[in-house]
Structure 1
């Protein structure tokens, strides 16, 4: 989980990369060679972001890979997340990206549409095993008609709850229901806490909550072409739906600001939080030793039976379109994504494994098992993932969050917030 300072750095890097990568398009499709020799001595560069712990795990995975493919030498390098993308930006401009890269979803369209990533479709089902990966997961890495990334792990939108705070407030776990019933439940928690904490935060401050409501109505946030699936009236309706909880039910925004860079949930100021299900470990670490477990529930329902939720990748693996050894690179990607050895080595370091064979090899801690059970429990609400995020999505997501904060403070009207967001969309979407 990144601090707000690091998120800001990421947005800045993305903006700069969009400028540098323009006009770098090149060939991105290569057929598996009919003369490919699996015993040929080749060297691949592998780049990933992370820390020393993840680096050691990759080193272990490379050792295991070389037991099966001793002829393929893998040279790994790693950086922190912002530095990783600064380096890729420079390499992309020079046409020398690493053969295999750990990839982030928010950059996939930008690099794919500039012809920088290899189309993996010719390798699916032969070099890259697709049996352990569901069609929903495989579709996550598709930009246009090309598969340019294979997810290593998945997460889904979820509702975390704090059992300790609920017991203190004398309120049972939320039983599920619509957004109004969730608001009522938050009110019960806030009332039961005696002013010590609150039931939750303003759910209208997160663009993902707006997205799942749109999906339940058969719409979307943004189409493949970058067209919004909503108008000013629908956005105003969403933000106005938070008026009741903003009136004394949710944590005051001033209290949230006081605990920054931590959040309200991992500061024990709120008993619930809507976010991605891979945030749990970070929450427990932030809460401290007095808190040993979390609840993980499905988000509120807008329309019964709708496929409003979806799996998105915690990260993906991609191959440079200029790799001189695409078959060997695809072999490495297959091992890192699908092999039981990789699952056993990484566990949930990269998120819950997307591949069934890798998941079978992973030793899941109790929270990771909860996440696995949660994702299985929402199978009937899982629909196709939306198109890969449009270029500039991160900027719009941040604008949405900032306007949500102003609404929580009461320093802006809903109409003004809607006007500002659509003005920002005009700029970002061109």
Structure 2
């Protein structure tokens, strides 16, 4: 694939200039609301740059990795892409992401970027992506379902979480946990096992994956048992983002670990007094390890319109674009100035900001530095994870498969 990407990039560079008034923008974390908001920001950009046209291509998230890889392999490379954290190393490693250093050196809003945004957008000390916001997992809970099940207090530990899920699952047609067994479900396979294990370190010093360690196998078993014991809906083995969020706001299940972007659909369909957001439950070590993800804007290296592409990124990342974008997506802001906005002071965001302020809650970044991680997250983890949930392979077999794949990737990385 690397050779294919590189060939495509060179072909695109030699294909000749594209009209200076035309840009192609690919959106990959797609929903109707997000796309409409993006169109509004782009319309402002086009108005500020007369004669410029921005073509927006929206790829459904469940198919985005494969579809974008196909586009790149065919030489159909955009100028700007919404870049998920799990893809950065793959495309940066293939030389397809432009170094944004020259532009950031002169941008008036560079100092407004949070330290986390600056650090996470770099590969080999070069900024190749500007995160627009952060997606930190916290725990949604349905107050009505917990009361009906006789759960008197919101769980603060995984043992309390399991006990509450059992009580809710005893109600006719209800389940405790909205499990994401389909696309995008890797977070659950990281957070709960790490919390059970009391450690979120993915590799030892020699580059060996910890997934097949005794502690992590115990955590994987704990997570699998949630499904096998009927504490998650039976069809949740195939659920993606839309299904788990719908499962929560329709009252099918009482708990949902999700990012702030889930607030969009939930707040539209549930009253504030019907749900809450609390910190991710802590494990035996007294710590919790919710994942923190991010996405942002990258410029593709083969673009023939780099200066114009930067203007678009600056519009999207600057206050005029970033603030309304994050208010719609619900992401925690990448701009320091946005944190004082009244929107983020609302009760709905309390759980996430409590996590950020709790030293025993350790936000966990997945090993996105590995070129092989995108395939692991979007393909291998889904297929083998589903087999484990369905009892077709044991937790030990799952752990061994994942550890073997990740160990090879990490040892390749550290040997370079």
Q: TM-score, normalised by structure 1?
A: 0.71
Answer yes or no: is 1:374 the counterpart of 2:351: yes
Answer yes or no: is 1:167 the counterpart of 2:151: no
Pick one of 54, 60, 81 that aligns with 2:40: 60
Pick one of 297, 313, 328 that aligns with 1:333: 313
Give the CA deviation at 1:332.
2.5
Q: Does the C-alpha gap of structure 1 residues 112 and 279 become closer, same or farther in structure 2, counting only changes over 3 Å?
A: same
Corresponding residue SS for 1:312 = strand
Structure 1 equivalent of residue 135 of structure 2: 155
Pick one of 220, 243, 247 that aligns with 1:262: 243
Answer yes or no: is 1:187 the counterpart of 2:187: no
Residues in 1 aligned to 2:239 and 2:200: alpha-carbon distance in whole angstroms: 38
Give the CA deviation at 1:164.
1.8
Corresponding residue SS for 2:301 = coil
What do the CA deviations read for 1:2-54 (whole angstroms, capped 9, x no partner)?
Answer: xxxxxxxxxxxxxxx6673155577xxxxxxxxxxxxxx95351413246654
Residues in 2 aligned to 1:48 and 1:215: alpha-carbon distance in whole angstroms: 39
- Mapping for residues 17-416 of structure 1, pairs under 5 Å: 20-21=4-5, 42-49=20-27, 50=30, 54-65=34-45, 69-70=48-49, 73-81=52-60, 88-89=68-69, 92-93=72-73, 97-127=77-107, 129-177=109-157, 179-191=158-170, 193=171, 195-200=172-177, 206-210=188-192, 212-213=194-195, 217=199, 219-220=201-202, 228-242=209-223, 248=229, 250-251=231-232, 254=234, 256=236, 262-263=243-244, 264-265=247-248, 268-282=251-265, 293-302=274-283, 308-309=289-290, 311-313=292-294, 315-340=295-320, 342-344=322-324, 347-349=327-329, 351-357=331-337, 369-370=346-347, 372-380=349-357, 381-383=361-363, 385-388=365-368, 390-397=370-377, 399-416=380-397
User: Do the aligned partners of 1:44 and 1:100 also contact (CA within 8 Å) in 2?
Assistant: no
Residues in 2 aligned to 1:148 and 1:258: alpha-carbon distance in whole angstroms: 33
- Which deviates the most, 195-204 or 407-416? 195-204
Residues in 1 aligned to 2:102 and 2:309: alpha-carbon distance in whole angstroms: 13
Residues in 2 aligned to 1:222 and 1:245: alpha-carbon distance in whole angstroms: 28
Residues in 2 aligned to 1:123 and 1:292: alpha-carbon distance in whole angstroms: 46
Unaligned runs of 5+ in 1: 1-16, 27-40
Structure 2 equivalent of residue 11 of structure 1: none
Residues in 2 aligned to 1:74 and 1:350: alpha-carbon distance in whole angstroms: 28
Corresponding residue SS for 2:109 = coil
RMSD over aligned Cα atoms: 4.3
User: Do the aligned partners of 1:165 and 1:271 also contact (CA within 8 Å) in 2?
Assistant: yes
Unaligned runs of 5+ in 2: 11-18
Residues in 2 aligned to 1:120 and 1:245: alpha-carbon distance in whole angstroms: 44
Residues in 2 aligned to 1:95 and 1:257: alpha-carbon distance in whole angstroms: 36
Q: TM-score, normalised by structure 2?
A: 0.73
Give the CA deviation at 1:382.
5.0
**Higher relative helix content:** 2
